Amino acid sequence: MVKSTGYKIVKTAVFISGTGSNLKSLIRFSRTNQSPISIDLIVSSNPKAKGLKYGKIFKIRKEIFNFEKNQSENKILATFKRYNIEMIFLAGFMKILSKNFITKFKGKILNIHPSLLPKYKGLNTHQRALDNNEKYSGCTVHFVNSKLDSGKIILQKKVKISKNETKNSLAKKILAQEHKLYPKAILKVFNL
Ligand code: GAR
């Protein structure tokens, strides 16, 4: 598919494990005229992920894979071939991809993380930021490499931590920024 801008639209897959609010914002973005990507596949590590509902709402194919098993990644690669998937966006995806898989998609996997990396890699980011009396936290979109939350940073957004901030209020504030940051980071990767 080529849009009127003349760019070739890159086919992508979004990987989720839970609510899928970033997935929803990425789908919305992908359907605007400025988007260089289409989302052709939703991959979930969790059959109960709430975000799977967006497959039905937006008519996008969904696949559930058990990432505990090695063959899962081979099955994903076969599925990708079928749908010509060239790029992957991790959006609340809570599993760790193998080195082999990441190498196959070098420079083609992006992730969003709810902290100002390199601070607070891994889980429970908001509570850890509060425990350390940080004045700011935020979110980061980065390329995925074989070390957890350590690939090259594409874009970050800082969020101020208020006096009576709780882990939940901070998560909500940061999530709202994530929804804007991920599309911006994609445009940046495509030099748009
Ligand atoms: C988001 O805050 C995302 O940054 C985070 O999980 C949430 C998913 O929300 N991801 C990670 O912690 C990855 N390690 P969503 O399912 O509503 O997009």
* Spatial contact of 115 and 138, defined as CB atoms under 8 Å apart: yes
Q: What CATH number does the domain containing 19 carry?
A: 3.40.50.170
Where does the pLDDT of residue 6 fall: very low under 50, low under 70, confident under 90, or very high at 90 and above? low
Number of domains in the chain: 1
Whether 53 maps to a domain, the answer reads yes
Q: Is residue 1 part of a domain?
A: no
Closest CA to 91 of 32, 185, 16: 16
C-alpha dihedral sign at 100, 24, 21, 36? positive
The residue contributing the CA closest to ligand 1 atom 8 is 92
Whether the per-residue pLDDT at 104 is higher than 50: the answer is yes
Nearest ligand 1 atom to alpha carbon 178? 4
Distance 3 CA to ligand 1 centre (A): 30
What distance in Å separates the CA atoms of residue 144 and residue 48, rounded to the nearest whole number? Answer: 25
Contact between 11 and 86 (Cβ < 8 Å): yes
Domain membership flag for residue 139: yes
Is residue 92 one of the residues assigned to a domain? Answer: yes
Q: Which long-range contacts (CB under 8 A, 24 or more apart) does 26-32 make?
A: 26/89, 26/91, 26/182, 26/183, 26/186, 27/54, 27/58, 27/60, 29/182, 29/183, 29/186
Average pLDDT value over all residues in the chain: 95
- Report yes or no on whether pTM surpasses 0.85: yes
5 versus 172: the higher-pLDDT residue is 172
Residue 126 included in any domain: yes
pLDDT at 2: 45
Give the pLDDT band of residue 7 (cuts 50, 70, 90).
Answer: low
* pLDDT tens, residue by residue, 39-66: 999 999 999 999 999 999 999 999 999 8
Residues across the chain: 192
State the pLDDT at residue 70. Answer: 73
Q: How far is CA 75 from CA 45, 131, 153, in A?
A: 13, 41, 29
List the domain range (segments joined by +) for residue 101: 10-189
Is residue 156 within 8 Å of residue 116, measured between CB atoms?
yes
Res. 118: pLDDT tops 60 = yes
Q: Which residues line ligand 1 (CB under 6 A)?
A: 16, 18-22, 51, 91-92, 112-114, 175, 178
